Structure formats: structure tokens, C-alpha cells
Structure 1
């Protein structure tokens, strides 16, 4: 600060103006200290980065999962579209025969299986029914992969 000369018409700042300047300087200093403290807090910065990466990974997982579902559905539709009708009819007929045979075998096995084993099997069936969707998705994915592999081998 320079001292005003006798020729200057501006008067020295009043005590109120000086108080305002001091208060303004204190506010700026406080904000500067807070900013420096935030930069120095490595632990908080690391947590924020980890949370940011975790969120990004979750978003990517959702996108990839959706893409896989779409691709699987598309591949299943392509296989169905490219499979001739006689083959589809034979497959449906074979599936019906397999169901009948499995039912007969199941009844026969149930008749000859001891009671404790039947109880355990019943609890396993109940658990599988509760998780039907993931099991069906996995089975569909396996079938699609097998069919794709076969088609690639033929080429």
C-alpha cells in the first residue's frame, strides 16, 4: 500500500472499509485452506475414485449383460429360422418321447427309491424351481454355443 500524497484527493480508507477488506481476505483464506485440505486428503480421494470405478464397472456389467442377452436371443432366433421345418417337427416329436420316457423313469425311480433320498430330491427340486430363470438362461446359452460350434465346424 502506498501512502497518499498531499495532492491526492482520496482519503485513507475508513475503519469500516478496512474491516470489510479484512473479512473478505479471511473468507478467501478460509476457502483456500479448505481447498488445500481437500487436496491433501488422499484417503477421501481414493475412496471417491474407488466409488467412481465401482459405478463405472457396474454400468459396464449391465451393458455387457444386456448385449449378451440380445446376442443369445438373436442367435437362438437365427438357429430356429435356419432350421428346416421337418427337423423342428422331429425335434418336437423327440422331445415329447423324451418327456414320456423321463416321466416313466421318474415314476419307476420314485417307487424304488428310499424315503430319505426322496426327501432330499424334493428339496433340491424346490430349490431349482425357485431359480428356474437362471437355469433356463444357462441351458439356452449352452445349447446356442453347441449349435454355433457345430455350424462353424461344418464351414
Structure 2
């Protein structure tokens, strides 16, 4: 003899009600089987976890890159604020001179370089253009540092 669920009237069981109970039980059993199958599917769970971790790493990388760029910009501004005006003027002049020389050398190199070298150089130029602001800040900071160092040596 089977036990009925609490609160059900056994005498009220009709074939239709029994079919309905069987249908509900089958649906519950199907859902339980699906849940167990999902837990047992290690490949899918590992893939889902990998995707989630990749997304977290990407977000953290973007956040770190932004923080680093902001700090580099702040440091460059601090260096620029502390650098005397004559040194900054010389740094600007030196930067322009270096830029002109680099452009001249670049034209010469481009005219005489083989095709594979030109392709690699083009890739480097595109990367530099994509990161122009941090690159210019770094170059300016290095130029200012070198000029300050040079002026201190001359004072001695």
C-alpha cells in the first residue's frame, strides 16, 4: 500500500487525478535529472568558469591599465610642474630637434629597407600611434630628467 501525500483525500482519487499526479511527478523527475546532469557535466562547468575568469581578468586588466595611465599622467604633470621654465624650453627645443632628425632618418631608412622590415616597422608605428599620449609623456619625462641631470652636472 502506498502512502498519499499529506492533505490528499484517498477516496477522492480518480483516474484523472492520478494521471495528473503522475504527470507532475514526471516533470519534477525530469527537472531533477536535468539539474543532476548539469552538475555532472564537468566540461561545461569548467568552460563556463573559464569564460567567467577570462572576463574578470579582462576587466581587471582594463582597470589596471587605466590606473597606470592615470598615474603616469599625474607623474608627468608633477615633473613638468617642478621643472624650471628654461629647462622646459630646452626640452621642447630638443624634442623638436629629435623629431626632425628621427623623421629624416625614418625617410632614409624607409627608402633603403627591404619590404619585410618595412612591414614590421609599420606595425611598430601603428602601436606607437595607438598609445601616443603615454609614449609622449614618457619621452617628455625622460627628456626633462636628462636635461635636469645635465644642468646639475654643469653646476658642479
The normalised TM-score by structure 2 is 0.67
Of the two, which has the highest radius of gyration? Answer: 1
Query: 1 or 2 for the larger relative contact order (CA 8 Å, sep ≥6)?
Result: 2
The answer to whether 1:39 aligns with 2:39 is: yes
CA RMSD of superposed structures (Å)? 3.8
What is the deviation of 1:86?
Answer: 1.8
1:131 aligns with 2:127: yes
Query: 2:51 maps to which residue?
Result: 51
1:89-127 C-alpha deviation (Å, 9 max, x unpaired): 222233445556x37xx48x95xx9xxx73317936971
CA distance, structure 2, for counterparts of residue 130 and residue 19 of structure 1: 71
Hey, what's the Cα distance between the residues in 1 that align with 2:22 and 2:142?
74
* Deviations, residues 33-67 of structure 1 (Å, cap 9, x unaligned): 11111111111111111111111001101000111
Q: List alignment gaps of at least 5 residues for structure 1.
A: 4-8
Structure 2 CA distance for aligned equivalents of residues 23 and 119 of structure 1 = 82
Give 5+ residue unaligned stretches, structure 2. 150-156
Superposition misfits of 4+ residues, deviation over 6 angstroms: none
Residue matched to 2:154:
none
- TM-score, normalization: structure 1? 0.67
Equivalent residue for 2:66? 66
Please identify, of 129-138 and 40-49, the stretch whose mean Cα deviation from structure 2 is larger: 129-138
Partner of 1:118: 111
- Asked if the contact 2:76/2:141 (under 8 Å) is kept, the reply is yes
Structure 2 residue matching 1:37: 3-state secondary structure: helix
How many residue pairs get aligned? The number is 136
